[in-house]
Amino acid sequence: MCYVLVKPHGVESWCITCSAEGVFLNGGKTDAGDEINYERKSAIYKDIVTFLREKSVIFSENMSKHATKFKEQQQMEKDQHDKALKKEETATFHKTASGSGKSTLEKNQINFVKNQMTRRLEPSLNWKTTLDFKSHRSSVKDSQQEKHGGKFEKVRSSASHGRAQLSSKSADKIEEISSENSSESEEDEEPADHRQEVNVDLPSEYWQIQKLVKYLKGGNQTATVIVLCLMKDFNLVHETCQLAIRDVGGLEVLINLLDTNEIKCKIGSLKILKEISHNPQIRRNIVDLRGLPVIVNILDSPYKILKCLAAETIANVAKFRRARQAVRQHGGITRLVALLDYTQHASQPAYSSLYETTDVEVARCGALALWSCSKSYANKEAIRKAGGIPLLAQLLKTSHENTLIPVVGTLQECASEENYRAAIKAERIIESLVKNLSSENEQLQEHCAMAIYQCAEDEETRDLVRLHGGLKPLASLLNNTDNKERLAAVTGAIWKCSISRENVSKFREYQAIETLVGLLTDQPEEVLINVVGAIGECCQDYENRVIVRKCGGIQHLVNLLVGINQALLVNVTKAVGACAVEPESMVIIDRLDGVRLLWSLLKNPHSDVKASAAWALCPCIKNAKDAGEMVRSFVGGLELVVNLLKSDNKEVLASICAVITNIAKDQENLAVITDHGVVPLLSKLTNTNNEKLRRHLAEAISHCCMWGRNKVTFGEHKAVAPLVRYLKSSDTSVHRATAQALYQLSEDANNCITMHENGAVKLLLDMVGSPDQDLQEAAAGCISNIRRLALATEKARYT
C-alpha cells in the first residue's frame, strides 16, 4: 500500500510504500503533472512510526514528549489506583474482622480478588486523558499546528464535549419519537448499548485501532490522513473494529473532521463512518452526537465523491425513526432529491479526477438514502413535495441495475400512499416496473413486484399491469421458489392484480392457478398469506374453483385454518368461503371438518379474523346438505353467534347478521336464537349509518320475523322507524333488504301505523316501479298491508 505525503506549497512529495518487508521511501515528484517513481530510495523500516522518527526531527521530538507525558500520567493513575485498592483492602479486612467469623472473611477475600482481576482485565483508556493536557503541549507542536491552519484544533477540543453528548440522551428524545408519524416498525426501539465484556479476550485489531485513534486525535493534517487510510484498511464490517472506534471517542473525532476544510480528511472520515454505521449502536451514537446535520450539509459540496459518501452514510444511519426525522428537519430530503437530477450535475464545474465520480453514481447514492428515509410518512410527503417522483421516473429509464434497485425500492415504500399511486400512474412508472420484471437481477425483480403489489390496490393500475404485459412474467416467476423474498413479492403482486376479473382470466391462461395451489405447503408465512389471498380472489370464478378442487387445494386450505397468523387466517377463511360456493367443494370442506374450524374462529380475539370467518360460514351453511342439523351439532355455536351482536366492530356485526340470515332459514335454529335474545339485539343495531350493516341487518330482521311473535317484538323494541329511514339510502341492495323486512313487519297492525307515520308509503310507492323484481314485490306487499289496515280501520269507524 502506498501513501503520498505532500510538503507545503506542493514543491515536493514523498511516496511511502508499506509492504511485507516493511516501510520504505519511493521517489518524489517535482510538480503535479509528473508521475511517481516507485523505485525504493531509502532503507526499510519496521513501521511507519519508525520511518517518521527518522525523517522528521519535529515528529521525533513531539513523540518523545508525548510518550514522556503519557508515562507520567499512566504512573500517576497507577499510584492512585494502588492507593485506592489498599484502602479498599484495609476497609474490607476491618469489616470482616468485626463480622460473623472466618467464613465471611474468606468470602470477602474471594470477592476482593475477583474485583482486582476484573479491574486488571479492563481495557486501559488512560491515554484519553491526553485530551485534557492540550495546554501543556510544547510550543513546537503549537506552531506546527498553527502552520497547518489550526484546522484540527477543533477536532481535539470538541472530543470531550462530544462524549458528554453521547453519554446523556437528549431530554426531548421521547417527544421526537412520538411526534414522528411513521409507517415503519423496524428498529423503533432503542436497543441496549452493549460493550465488549471486560473478561473476554479482545483481538489485536481492537487495540491497534485504539492506538490509531490516539494518533488521529493528536496528529497534524498529514498524520491524520495517514491514520484515516490505515483505519480504512481494517475490516470495519466487523463489530469489534466498529466498537473499538466508538469506545475510545473516535466517533466524535470522525464527525468533527467533517467540519474541516480538508477534502482528504472529509473523504477518509466519511468512508469510515459509512462502513461502521451499519452497526445499529453506531448509527444511534452518530445521531446522539449531532452528526447528521453535518453530514447533510456535505450534500451541498461541489465534490461529487463527498456527496456520494454523505448520501451512503445517511442511507445507513436513517434506519430508525429519530434519524429519519433529523434528516428531514435539517433539510436533507430536499438535498437528496436534488441529487437524483443527474442531468443537472453535468453542468457543474469539474474537479480533479481524484475526487471525481459519475453523475449516475451520485443519483444512485441519493436514491439509496431516500430509500431509507422513505419509511416515514412525513418523509414520503417531503419527497413528493420536493419533486422526487418525476426524477425517480426519469432514473427508471437508466440501464444501470445498481441504480434501479434503490430507485424502485424508494417507489415501493412510497406507493403505500394514495397520493403517490396517482403520481406513479401519471408518470407512467408502471410500464417501467413491468419491463424490469424481466431483468436477470433477482433483487430488482423483487422490488418491482413489490412496487406493483403496493400500487395494484387501484383498479386502473391493475389494468395497466395487464395492458403492458406484466401478468405473464409474474406468472413465470412463480416457478422460481428458491428466493423466498422475491417469491413473497411476486405472489403479493399476483394477489392484488387478481382482484380484477380480467386479470384472473389471464392467470388461468398462464396456468398460474395450479402453481399457486402447489405453493400452499412448505412455504414461509409471508408467502402463504399472498398465495392464499390470490387463490381467494381467483376462486370467485367457477372455473378456478374447479381447478383448485381438482389440484387438491381444498385440503391444504382447510389445514391452514388451524394457524395463528392473523393475516393468513383472514385470507384462508376467505378462500375457503369462496370454494364453499361450489356444492362439490362444500362436501369436501364438511368432510374435513372445515365448518367446525371456521366456527371456532369466531372466538378469535382479532376482529378481522372473526368477520372473515363469519363471511365464510355463510356459503357453508347455505350449501350444506343438512345445514340445520350441522349448525345444531356445534355445541354453544348459536349462543356464540348471538352474543357477537354485542361487538363494537361494524364488519363483525355485518358478517354476523349475514350468518343469522342463513341460520334463521331453519325454523328450529330460529327458535333457539330467539330464545337467546336475537330480536332485542338486532333492534338495538338499527340506528346505524353503515350501508353494509344496514343491508345485512335488514335481511336478518326479515328472516327472524318468521318465528312466533318476533314481528311484534321488533315493533316493541323500536326497530320499525329506523328501518323506514333505510329507504332513503342510495344503495339498491339496502332498499331491497329493507322493503322485505318492512313487508314482514307490516303484518302487525302497530308496525303499519309506525311505518305510515314515518312516511314509508311514499318511499315504497317510488320503489314499486323498480327494475328489481324482488324489490317491487316487497314494496307492493308492504303497501298492500298498510292499505288493508287503513281500510279495516275506516270500516270499523263507520260500523
Q: Please state, in angstroms and as integers, the Cα–Cα distance from residue 462 to each residue in 88, 150, 366, 431, following that order.
A: 76, 62, 30, 12
What is the pLDDT at residue 722? 94
Report the SS3 class of residue 376.
Answer: strand
pLDDT in tens, 411-444: 999 988 888 888 888 888 999 999 999 999 999 9
8 A C-beta contact, residue 678 and residue 645: yes
Cα dihedral 43→46→47→51 (10° resolution): -30
State pTM to two decimals. Answer: 0.73
8 A C-beta contact, residue 233 and residue 1: yes
What is the pLDDT at residue 249? 87
CA–CA dist 791, 771 (Å, integer): 29
Q: Which of 631, 711, 739, 668 is nearest to 682 (CA)?
A: 711
What is the pLDDT at residue 213? 82
The gap from C-alpha 63 to its chain's centroid, in whole angstroms, comes to 51
CA–CA dist 86, 83 (Å, integer): 5
Report the SS3 class of residue 713.
Answer: helix
Q: Which of 213, 198, 208 is nearest to 131 (CA)?
A: 213
CA–CA dist 117, 270 (Å, integer): 39
* 4 DSSP β-pair partners: 15
Cα dihedral 541→544→546→552 (10° resolution): -140
CA–CA dist 312, 727 (Å, integer): 61
8 A C-beta contact, residue 424 and residue 413: no
Q: Please state, in angstroms and as integers, the Cα–Cα distance from residue 711 to each residue in 511, 686, 695, 700, 760, following that order.
A: 52, 15, 18, 12, 17
Average pLDDT by stretches of 10, the chain with 799 residues = 46 52 54 48 66 73 69 66 54 42 41 40 34 37 40 42 40 40 48 50 80 78 84 84 85 90 90 92 92 94 92 95 94 94 58 66 94 93 92 89 92 89 89 92 94 92 94 94 94 96 94 95 94 96 94 94 94 96 92 94 95 96 90 92 95 96 94 95 94 96 93 94 93 94 92 90 89 90 86 66
Burial 210-231 (b: 16+ CB within 10 A, else e): bebbbbbbbbbbbbbbbbbbbb
pLDDT in tens, 34-89: 444 545 556 666 667 777 777 777 777 777 766 666 666 666 766 665 665 555 54
CA–CA dist 150, 778 (Å, integer): 93
Phi, psi torsion values for 171, nearest 5 degrees: -70, -25
Give the β-pairing of 23-25 and 13-18: antiparallel
Residue 502 cell numbers, joined: 380480467
CB-based contacts of 354, cutoff 8 Å, min separation 6: none
The gap from C-alpha 252 to its chain's centroid, in whole angstroms, comes to 30
Using the Cα atoms of residue 75, residue 76, residue 80 and residue 83 in order, give the sign of their dihedral.
positive
What is the pLDDT at residue 399? 83
DSSP code, position 123: P
